[in-house]
Structure 1
């Protein structure tokens, strides 16, 4: 199964579900697992065989039980669980935001396909996705105009993000206390305290922790549009933040403290408290993004050009 992103992503999702069970608990049937993971029974059998080999589950088919809780090292890295299309999207976003590109530059889909080692059809499909979010505009002869990450764009994105996240919190607080998302929230909170205790040296680790917190909230919505939105936008935010390193430690410290307040509000299950903490944190995040955009990755007088 090496290199199989469907298997690896299913394996990781299964681990997250198992983390909410007690050791010794009987697993759902293969059919039920296939339905919950939204994959075929063949994939589920491969996942269960791998879990058995690693000593996470035990017993024959139909009588499998949890032998131990999953550990961090049991999970496949996120980069190995991406589909080919998702990998192209992430590669493109990293490339466009870390490279020498600015609003007004042209990109050529054939050249991008050669650079990323994929087909022009795949590139066009996923460039069209970024076109939907307003980052690109299609031009003749397989060219695309990069419109740039502007303050106006960031404002529009954050307006939608606030709506989506507040809706997702409603789904989150309806879950029982022993559900996997709540267990993940416990681990995320502990990691926040650990990061704060070593903030002077470990502050660059914050973006990954930020990703974990907001993703676990968004995914409980089980709404494909909310989850799809966060997949693209979270990558945009985290790479744009890298443009401004001047006050990174202080920014990350502030965000960590706001996260802890947000987590406490979620635990209270009080919609008003959650609304207030979520809006406060997203206002701070919005201001951070706006400053990063104004700071930018380029000198103000750098000329716009055409990508090769």
Structure 2
């Protein structure tokens, strides 16, 4: 099992959780038990054990696997590295549309997308079926998938639902406490990197924006909200009709707004964070309506 695979990294993080919940100088169970505990194969268990030994968390000799110390936070793989390719399909699809500047009526072939993303045609088909219920993607009878138009009414309705979901999820996130807030605070460095050279780095913002908002969406733990957020990302961050005219300025403002939320969380000021979040959502709505090119307009 390659240590670069998402399966290894996810299993490794589970191993760190298990070791961190105990003390030191205790023995890990058998490889069979660990495989079940970490939801990986015995081959992957051995790779994980070797990785733990390499960094001095355990000592491993034959059946003896002794814990030497607890893991540190920095030794965990980040969440975006533990996702499988199938789990990354929404982002891969968004970037495909964004980079290709695809227009309404463009044909989408499952086999071509599967090859481009490195997944099975079945995974692509299931993904497209989920998106099709929103009307942006449609399967024509006896034909391939196509991209449909994007209307102002659609955007207004979509944003109303986005605001409702995000405010609910963010309120729960604020109530969760400092340990949960740290997940957003940890994104400060990426924001400051973009801001330091905004004229070149502004194109990196859509992916960071998705990661930023997904933090409290995922923490909320509601599968329906999480599923809806995939569509939100498609429309608000990667949509093929996005007007590039003022993209740098839009992204610049959004980075600053994100940093205001981060600063409020760092200060432990939940009310300020909530106000900054509401300001950000208001700006996002104005940005969408003023920057998108609507069907029937030029």
TM-score (norm 1): 0.70
Question: Is 1:175 aligned with 2:179?
Answer: no
The whole-number CA distance in structure 1 between the counterparts of 2:156 and 2:47 is 42
Alpha-carbon distance in 1 for matches of 2:189, 2:99: 31
Q: What do you get for the CA RMSD once the two structures are aligned?
A: 4.3
Question: 1:88·1:116 contact (CA, 8 Å) conserved in 2?
Answer: yes
- 1:240-255 matches, within 5 Å, as 240=239, 243-255=242-254
State whether residues 241 and 292 of structure 2, in contact with CA within 8 Å, keep that contact through their aligned partners in structure 1: no
SS of 1:66 mapped into structure 2: coil
Q: Which residue number corresponds to residue 52 of structure 2?
A: 52
For CA contacts below 8 A with separation 6 or more, give which structure has more relative contact order. Answer: 1
Q: Which residue of 1 aligns with 2:211?
A: 212
- Where structure 2 has 5 or more consecutive residues not aligned to the other structure, the ranges are none
d(CA) in 1 for partners of 2:243, 2:12: 37
Q: Is the 8 A contact 2:257 2:276 kept in 1?
A: yes
Q: Residues 109-133 of structure 1: CA distance to partner in whole angstroms, max 9, x if unpaired?
A: 4665566666544333221011023
After superposition, the Cα gap between the structure-2 partners of 1:264 and 1:54, relative to the gap in structure 1 and judged at 3 Å, is same
Q: Aligned-pair distance for 1:218?
A: 1.7
The answer as to whether partners of 1:56 and 1:70 remain within 8 angstroms in 2 is no
Q: Secondary structure at the match of 2:96?
A: helix
Contact 1:243 1:295 in 2 (8 A): no
The residue number in structure 2 matching 1:141 is 142
Deviations 1:11-68 (A, max 9, x none): 46877x79xx8xx97699989xx9xxx9526588467426415517345646353355
- Counterpart contact for 1:130–1:136, Cα < 8 Å: yes
Mapped partners of 1:62, 1:214: distance in 2: 40
Q: Give the number of equivalent residue pairs.
A: 284
Pairs within 5 Å for 1:109-120: 109=110, 112=113, 119-120=120-121
Aligned to 1:70: 74
Corresponding residue number in structure 2 for 1:126: 127
TM normalised by structure 2 equals 0.71
Structure 2 residue 236 is the aligned partner of structure 1 residue 237: yes
